[in-house]
Structure 1
Amino acid sequence: MRDGLSLPHSPDAEREVLAAVFVDANSLDTIGESVKAEDFYFERHNLVFQAMQELHEGGAGVDPVTVAQQLKDRGWWDKAGGARTLGELLDRMGSLANLEHYCEIVSRKAMVRRMIEAARKIETDGLQDIADVDEFLDEAEKGVFGVLEDRATSNLRHVRDVVSTAIDQIQNIVDAGDDVTGTGTGFRDLDRMTHGFQPGDLVILAARPAMGKTSFVLNMAANAALRFNATVAVFSLEMPSEQLVQRLLSAEGRIDLGRMRGGHIYEDEWPRLMEAADRVSNARMFLDDTPAASPTMVRAKCRRLKRQHGLDLVIIDYLQLMSGGTRHQGSREQEISYISRSLKGLAKELGAPVVALSQLNRGLESRTDKRPMLSDLRESGAIEQDADIICFIYREEVYKKDLEESERGIAELIVGKHRNGPTGTVRLKFWHAHTRFDNLAENMMPP
């Protein structure tokens, strides 16, 4: 009780739920789907309910005599109020007609109490000396979300119902004429290989500098938002949001980025630039350029974005620039392992793919064949373990300046790990001036 107010509860609803058990012991199965012992506000009701459940689960009869004996055997008789409490329940004569409604009242009152307790914990913790504000905020959100998650009930379903739903999903895919079941990237052969990035996937995109990592994920973000109407969050720890948008406009408008940054835009390019600006402005894309962001900070922002707008894809550029927070400052390898593990957890929590860019060890530069391999991932083997998909970008022209014209502008997207599907190499066209990747087509000419 605080300021004369007691915590929310309903004595009548609690008694009605318990009294119904004396009418029909099998009603415990219905009650148990939505009400837990700790949902009862009064300790005496909590103990009586536990005694009833124990008898029922043991195959014994549940009536006033057996419940009284169970309370005595457990040493709960006095705390449960003894004969007085059982007498109150028998006086009710229990009703099964409104049992589900009574259960809902008990459950909802308990949920409100837990939310109040979470708020009080936030207040208590907030009055202490907080070493890590981000972690405090994350714990606060976790407490609130924990109450919300308690609302979700996982009901058993007969397999025939699940089969029916699965067939409907397959039929929808067939009708759509598209095999992208996750978030599409817009890159045809990659989407065929992965069926789009799936909810809960952690996707690592790694490459050496100058290969076009940021350009690729921006193209992918634009494709997802513009072609598939996905809601995309891009966290850029290296580049300001304004520079990201300049790259987006260059790629979408097919305008030379260097000239555009220098203010040298041809007259016939202005219409393309304005059209690109209009498309990008209407995309469901959100940018954040907070430097050294921690997984805790990213998680909090993604949770809010999902509540407000939904969230289909998260992109982080790039993993090694993230901070593990003040409580995760061991070795750099341990910090990267924590970050990697946190991003996988974030993908599962959001039910959306998380794409994180990563650096590669420079050791591959000494090899004759400089195509990246899983062993080239920098600073932590945990990245390989946590990731569902690992892709590498490789462009031969970065190392060989004397390539034939037909081989220039060709990028290889190497899928080195795919937990639920095939691996292989996807060839793409890269327009360096426009920082744009495209599906490769024969006889492709520059725009």
Structure 2
Amino acid sequence: MMLKKALTILGLVTAFWIPTLTASATVITYANCPTLSPLPVTSFMPAALLPIEQAETSFDTGMNAVVAAAVNSATVIQSEAISSAFNTITSELIKISQAKQSNLIEIDRQYQELKMAYEMELNAQKEQLENMLFPGDSSMMEPDEGESRVIDQDSPTYQFVKQMCSAAKMQQQLYSEEIINESKELKSRRSTKIVSNIQAVSSISAAAKQSVDFHYEVFCSEDDSLMGMCDEPSVAPNADMDAYVFMYPTGYRGEENGGTSDDYQTMYTYSAVESLAAYQYIKNLTGTLYMTSPTSREEETSSKTQFVGFYKQALSVISLSTDYMLSVAQVREPINKVGLVVSQLDAINYAIERSKLPDHQRIIASASENGKLLELQKQMALQNQLRLLIMKQKERARQLDAARVAIESTVYSLSD
């Protein structure tokens, strides 16, 4: 291309400086054509340079074709390479996207599994906490597998359960078959003995003297001792005549084995001596009928029918009164022989007094709903026991009133 431009410039210069050149020296002036019209001037080069121009043109044309072909081929190759690279990149991107989606799915699956496991563990702990008497008491949490845990004895759960167990053991002992049978046997034996002694009295004076001698022998007071009625005072002076001892015995207080406790002192439990004193107290009140029993002949004599009937009625009333008094004493008889010796009344009173302690009130205030319900059930059970005792007492009081009215009616009829 540069050569072509140079030759063109040279032709122009030559034509300008040599105007005398003939027309044949010009490349083309006019062409012989039918129209006699001059052909367009295409070049001012000499004719000798035409082949060179044509060769150059051919070369340029060929080169352009080759270059174009080469460029086209390179473009195709480059396009194919780019397309291949793009396809590879697209394929890799698809693989990466698929792997990413798969990873996201796996992450979501693991997340859901962890979430479910967490929720299950949370629900299990929630259920455990709800079932606990005192939520948050770590010493009462279910230990992990292989964990060795020592229960904290100062924890509220331990203190609460300890008190419940103590009360439950007392109640279990109280209503055990063995204790019930022993109580019935003792009451029946004493009642039978009192009634039998009344019926066996042949001399009221002799029976009274026997009772007085027993008092000075077992329950002699210091004053009685000074008066020479006995050798030395008894450990329970006048206990057989003291209503306070009958109702509120001291039991085993202060003794090393049987009646000591840091937080409770018995109020309604007999010691062995007080149990005997209670029996003698009942015997002194109800065990004497100030008339001798009718003989077999009098029971067969029609004229003595009214007397025999009144005697038997009086004996029945005394038996009823004795049974009532023995029932009062029976709930004060010990139900156990080791530890803190308590009676039925003290077993109930122990649970009530323990419930009033400030420490216990604070423990219950922090208890769960289940703990409060358990305490409520315990209090309701104690309430039912007290109601039962009150009902029995009222029933016996009505029986005594009925017996009193019957005796008064009989006395009134006899006085007429």
TM range (shorter): under 0.3
Normalized per residue, the structure richer in strand is: 1
Normalized per residue, the structure richer in helix is: 2
TM, length-normalised to structure 2: 0.17
